[in-house]
Amino acid sequence: MCGIVGFIGRKPAAPLLLEGLSKLEYRGYDSAGIALVGEKGIEIYKSKGRLQILRDKIQDGKDLPQTVGIGHTRWATHGKPSDENSHPHQSNDGNFAVVHNGIIENYAGLKKELQAEGFTFLSETDTEVVAHLLQKYYKGDFMLAVRQTVARLEGAYALGILCADFPNQIIAVRRASPLIVGLSQDANFIASDIPAVLSHTRRFLQLEDGEMARLTSGGVELFDADGRLVEKQELKVSWDVDSAEKGGYAHFMIKEIMEQPDVIRKTVSPRLKDGKVVLDGVKLTEEQLRKLKKLYIVACGSAYHVGMVGKYVIEKMTRIPVEVDLSSEFRYRDPIVDKDSLVVIISQSGETADTLEALKNAKAKGARILSIVNVVGSSIARESEDVLYTWAGPEICVATTKAYSTQLAMMYILAAYIAQTLQTVPQAQLDAFLDDLLRLPEQIAEVLKLAPKLQQMAQRYAYLEHAYYIGRNVDYAVSLEASLKLKEISYIHSEAYAAGELKHGPISLIEDGTFVVGLACCERLAEKMLSNVKEVKARGAEVLVVTNDHVKVHADEADHILLVPYTNEMMSGSLEVVVMQMLAYYIALARKCDIDKPRNLAKSVTVE
């Protein structure tokens, strides 16, 4: 997720902006830049790569005297990492400079409109339309131009804006993307996160959606979307800098778990327009889809578990056969793929070694490659004909949470896109599916409210030796990820089984006190699933059942029953997995494990 910093005061701004950006490096980024405004107008300095490259380029800003500026670290979403795509972006007349976090969903239409009016674009980003809209609407009133510009924007944004005609002001505005204002006696700040400016102030104002802030060195004014002044109480922060990077959370893992409603919204909402799935940039044609004989999903680890869910969803929605392969097995088994095969590659980093080699193998055999990745410009993205970016932002904890969930959302989107194109489900069914998809973020927010109950439950199960997860259909696929989360961060031996396989061996492992988690959100299979729950309960297991209110579980059938909101059974895994992530986290916390950096694991596996 990108980082924003702004400063206005009496000291040179450049060193303070660089310092603030360095405090946001933990968020991940691929380029950095600053814009400064003074008597000679706006000056911009930016570069692809690490912040140190920019520092070296401007000698740490020591020779730049301007006392007003904005800075940015970019995590690419629209356009590859490059100097041209780096922020800040400037209007054609040089009068405005903009930094932006978020996604402008309607940028393509705005860009076409502006190009028709003679504006020239120098980047591939969605952000540049903001700078040119400001120029278009500016008639001498800086604030009015900002209000008219943001009225045209759809999507999520946090903006920091400079105007050369008003060198003693910064205007900031937000919608669905975080932005705070920092206050001090002789200077004021904007930032996307508190750590950027915590060493200079502990007094903050939190901007709400639609609100704008006008900063000068002497004060801050807040306005609503209609330009009316807003009074707001200051927030005083007592965190230290290390805690602030985690947003006040003890670990990045729980912070990233809590971010899931927001990141799933960012993944889903730009791709659903007027009741249809729109995948901008995907060149896969209807003719190619109709010729498909088989679809392969290839991935490692948690991404492989996403593929397992994807198989159930895509086959049900499209009736195309789906095979799910571990990358390390696919690349060595001489897979039978050809020009009528679509290979879907899933990787958070886009650099996973086995997955990249599997991609090359399939591509050499003539298969079409569609990749689902989080990192723009990564090796897997570059090697693919089509790419769907999850836009989850950087994930710091080694054990994935929000990256898994956004990949899962992409499975739903891909299934719906193919079904829409091939008309394999009735329109009413597709409409209901998309409505359920749009509701996922708010439903996940409801699931997150179970955190206190799960933390209490974790105390009881913190020192387990073994744990087992069972489910059927999508519930089984999710149980694989649930089991992996527990073993990754708590080091408890854990296994997942298809519930129908219990009598074929695994039930011999059940004895008094064995912890079993039963995922039971698949309503049509609930009776069979609860029969399996009774089997393990009768042999002495302590059972946690995760289900919804459409499935009736009697109190004597389980030791614990947790309810998640009801949704389409194909999407229920998105709710179940959040419960399982939190349970694993709180068990690991009780065991005093190194949660963000579990032993022997790496975030991106770039060797065999």
Q: Which residues contact 100 (CB under 8 A, 6 or more apart)?
A: 2, 4, 72, 87, 89, 126, 127, 130, 157, 158, 159, 160
* Residue 546: C-alpha distances to residues 63, 96, 580 (Å): 60, 52, 9
Structure tokens at 130: 């903001």
The one-letter amino acid at 161: I
- As annotated, the active-site residues are 2, 603
The one-letter amino acid at 371: S
Structure tokens at 209: 């959606």
User: Cβ-count burial of 292 within 10 angstroms (0-12 exposed, 13-18 middle, 19+ buried)?
Assistant: middle
Q: Which residues contact 10 (CB under 8 A, 6 or more apart)?
A: 67, 186, 187, 217
**How far is the C-alpha of 341 from the C-alpha of 343, rounded, in Å?**
6
**How far is the C-alpha of 218 from the C-alpha of 238, rounded, in Å?**
24
- Maximum Cα–Cα distance across the chain: 80
- At which residue do the structure tokens 């699931």 appear? 447
SS3 587: helix
Bridge partner list, 189: 7, 182
**How far is the C-alpha of 157 from the C-alpha of 100, rounded, in Å?**
6
- Nearest CA to 101 out of 48, 169, 154, 178 is that of 178
- At which residue do the structure tokens 């903009």 appear? 98
The residue count for the chain: 608
| Residue pair 476/498 in contact by the 8 Å Cβ criterion | yes
| Residue pair 182/191 in contact by the 8 Å Cβ criterion | yes
